Amino acid sequence: MKKITPVALIVIIGCLMVILVAVYFIQTSKTLGHETSISPPTTPSINTTKSGIVQTPVPVGIDSSNGIKGPLSVSLGDYNAKMPVLIDNTNLGEVSRGKPLNISVNEGYHVVKICLGDVCEQVGVEVKSAIKTTIDFGERLKTDIRQGPLTVSLGSYNAELPVFIDNSSVGNVSRGKLLNISVSEGRHVVRVCIGSVCKQQEVEIKSTKQTTVNFEEQLKTDIRQGPLTVSLGSYNAELPVFIDNSSVGNVSTGKPLNVMLSEGNHTVRVCVGFICENETVEIKFAQLSIVDFGERLKKSAEFSKPTVRIVNYFMTGNKLTVDAEFVNPGKTDLSLTTTIGVGYSYIDGNHQRQNQYGQYRFTRSVKAGNRSRQSLDMTLSGGSSTIASEPQIVEVITT
């Protein structure tokens, strides 16, 4: 075996050092390159989102608000519907015809979407704090989701009932008062309810065809009714009748009002101006119920027009005091001016009794539907030992 000379050892050690230095610099270069590498700038992506029928390019992923908000108004124009409003897929309220949704949202780009069933319309908008952003989906909805006319009626069935279309309340219908609305094309379920009892029909809505739903026969067949007669006895008037707060017709002296009502308790009301009488009646199938308001109205609503009447009077010396009642049964505040006439006699300076007649005018303000009791003083001039006859109302003027 040959020995390694000192010169060869030095050469080997030198080569090893060169290799180690080279490895060190290569690793250092890689490490520095990783830490200082810079990714190329990115731009927001543009997504094309299909919303029902319309495809709308929507910028996404941009929010420059820094907590700053801007006003946003979403409306349907005259498109007749009630729809949820979703902003960036978050439900923030409802919008309907004539009732826009006004809210504040963060500055930046947002996706605003409204839906009718499984059909949606959406648009991308940029909201700024100093500018009100308005979106009206009316024309787009008319083009993409056409509507057709629908009429709901009860025929001669006597009730006022809520109407639901696809479980959404759309208004009320009553006897002689149809509900006319516009509904999106397609199949819908129309329902009316009396308490917890509901009747429904399925309809096909078309934009070119009037659709009518009449619940009269269903209600008469399935919801039992009983007869009710409302009368005024000898009270002389013609008055409107309300049952469960719905007008059902008029009743007058000698002409009762006859109606059919569903079984159960109902509130019957008649009014003279602001003065009303109420009664709760229980309606039973095939059993006549009668409500006569005559005696009660004579006591509570004796007068059907503005009136002044004398309740009492008395003399003190030559002063006549009249207790008068000013009655205003109407719906507006009034001033009542009355003239009271009285005949009287007195002893003059020659100890002769003389006859005299005087008229006195008084004005009082009376609020609508109220009565006001007033003491009116009249000085009967001429002499002593004054004797007065019964005073009379000569005239009443309303202003």
What mean pLDDT, rounded, does the chain reach? Answer: 83
pLDDT tens, residue by residue, 324-352: 999 888 778 999 999 999 999 999 988 99
- 268, two tokens: 């019957």
Q: What percent of the chain has pLDDT over 90?
A: 46
Report residue 18's pLDDT band, with 50, 70 and 90 as the boundaries.
Answer: low
Angle at 187 between CA 183 and CA 190, to 5 degrees: 65
Residue 134 has pLDDT above 50, yes or no: yes
Pick among 1.10.357, 3.30.70, 2.60.40, 3.10.450: CATH of 49-144 = 2.60.40
| Residues forming CATH 2.60.40.1120 domain(s) in the chain | 147-222, 225-300
Q: What integer is the mean pLDDT of 381-387?
A: 90
Report residue 396's pLDDT band, with 50, 70 and 90 as the boundaries.
Answer: very high
Q: What integer is the mean pLDDT of 379-396?
A: 92
- 315, two tokens: 């003399």
Strand order in the sheet with 246-252: 246-252, 238-243, 264-272, 275-283
pLDDT tens, residue by residue, 116-131: 877 889 999 999 988 9
What are the residues facing 136 on neighbouring strands?
75
Q: What is the pLDDT of residue 20?
A: 63
pLDDT tens, residue by residue, 254-305: 899 998 888 888 999 998 876 788 999 999 888 899 999 988 888 777 777 8
Answer yes or no: CATH 2.60.40.1120 is held by domain 225-300.
yes
Report residue 8's pLDDT band, with 50, 70 and 90 as the boundaries.
Answer: low
Angle at 205 between CA 50 and CA 164, to 5 degrees: 95
Residue 57 has pLDDT above 80, yes or no: no
Q: In 3D, which of 64, 176, 58, 188 has the Cα closest to residue 123?
A: 58
- Round to whole Å and give the CA distance between 370 and 327: 6
- Round to whole Å and give the CA distance between 163 and 169: 6
Q: What integer is the mean pLDDT of 228-235?
A: 92
Q: What integer is the mean pLDDT of 365-383?
A: 89
Q: What is the pLDDT of residue 41?
A: 32
pLDDT tens, residue by residue, 145-156: 888 999 999 998
pLDDT tens, residue by residue, 205-226: 998 899 999 999 998 888 888 8
Q: What integer is the mean pLDDT of 158-176?
A: 86
Distance set, CA 44 to CA 58, 62, 120, 364 (Å): 11, 7, 25, 77
Q: What is the pLDDT of residue 37?
A: 33
Q: What is the pLDDT of residue 152?
A: 96
Q: In 3D, which of 321, 320, 293, 186 has the Cα closest to residue 237?
A: 293
Q: What is the pLDDT of residue 22?
A: 59
Q: What is the pLDDT of residue 52?
A: 43
DSSP letter string, 231-286: E-TT---EEEEEETTEEEEEEETTB-EEEEEESEEEEEEEEETTEEEEEEEEEBTT
Q: In 3D, which of 161, 154, 111, 165 has the Cα closest to residue 133?
A: 111
The CATH fold assigned to 147-222 is: Immunoglobulin-like (2.60.40)
> Which residues fall within 8 angstroms of residue 200, CB to CB, at 6 or more apart?
189, 190, 191, 192
What's the pTM? 0.48
Region for residue 170 given its phi and psi (left: phi exceeds 0; alpha: psi -120 to 50; beta: otherwise): alpha
> Considering only the top CATH level, what class is 307-398?
mainly beta
Residue 64 has pLDDT above 70, yes or no: no
* The residue count for the chain: 399
